[in-house]
Amino acid sequence: MRASSPPLKPVPPVSAERLDRLDALRGLAIVWMAIFHFSFDLNHFGWIHQDFYRDPVWTWQRTCIVSLFLFCAGGGQAFAVLAGQSARRFWRRWAQVAGCAVLVSLGSWFMFPQSWISFGVLHGIAVMLLLLRLGLARWPAAVLLALAALALAAPRLVQSPLFDTRWTNWLGLVTHKPITEDYVPVLPWLGVMLLGFVVTRAWPQRWAGGAPRPLVVLGRWSLSFYMLHQPVLIGGLLAVQLLKGA
């Protein structure tokens, strides 16, 4: 099946090549993520003492941040479909996301060999984008909303030990959360991406218009920022530790 599909409706005149408010929302998620990760790094190096794995103050923040990313990813894909994005452009962007996901796995294995990331947010986005582009994007809104509700509910309704391995837990029907630094399985998170897709496809003009420019720019370079911010933060903290110990 081809990755490209004809536009479902013309792009409204107010939208240009990008939707500034959608990019700004993604930029906001990036800023929040960077603050969260900086706090996590401070904890990792022993400068603060927090439970990032069980304390609701941190677990709920993570849920909100991931939700924003996936909602924006769904919205971005809806706009791409409306704009008639070519298959070549889609696959180039998809390859970037998938390639970065592999790098995240390798980097996390180096830092956290016992809890490395086998299916984190970039892995999830890569798989869910395929599901959208290769089929779901053609479905009517009512069906997609029903599918989103089913996806959000599925992990609570269906669980099996068969999905508890690193090779199967990507689906999300696990009996317990795997030991990993990041885990964004297809279920329930596909539901969030579908919501972003449906909302943006129905009202793309709502995302056009004025938005804080720094957030817009940051949102447009979100993948680059995502890949670079942790090496920079960790490198900076290591440098400070070395200077303090000198």
Domain ranges of the chain: 20-245
pLDDT along the chain (246 residues), means of 10: 44 59 97 97 94 95 98 96 94 97 95 94 98 95 98 96 95 95 97 98 91 95 96 93 78
Give the residue carrying structure tokens 């990993």.
180
Q: Can you give the pLDDT at residue 86?
A: 93
Q: Can you give the pLDDT at residue 95?
A: 97
For residues 199 and 103, what is the distance between their CA atoms, to the nearest angstrom? 31
- Least Cα distance to 134 among 239, 29, 3 occurs for 3
Write down the pTM of the prediction: 0.90
Q: What is the CA radius of gyration of the chain?
A: 19
Q: Can you give the pLDDT at residue 17?
A: 66
Q: Which amino acid is at 58?
A: W
Q: Can you give the pLDDT at residue 244?
A: 79
Q: String of b and e for 222-241 (b: at least 16 CB within 10 Å)?
A: beebbbeebeebbeebeeee
The SS3 call for residue 116 is coil
For residues 39 and 142, what is the distance between their CA atoms, to the nearest angstrom? 40
- Residues 6 or more apart in contact with residue 71 via CB below 8 angstroms: 25, 192, 193, 195, 196
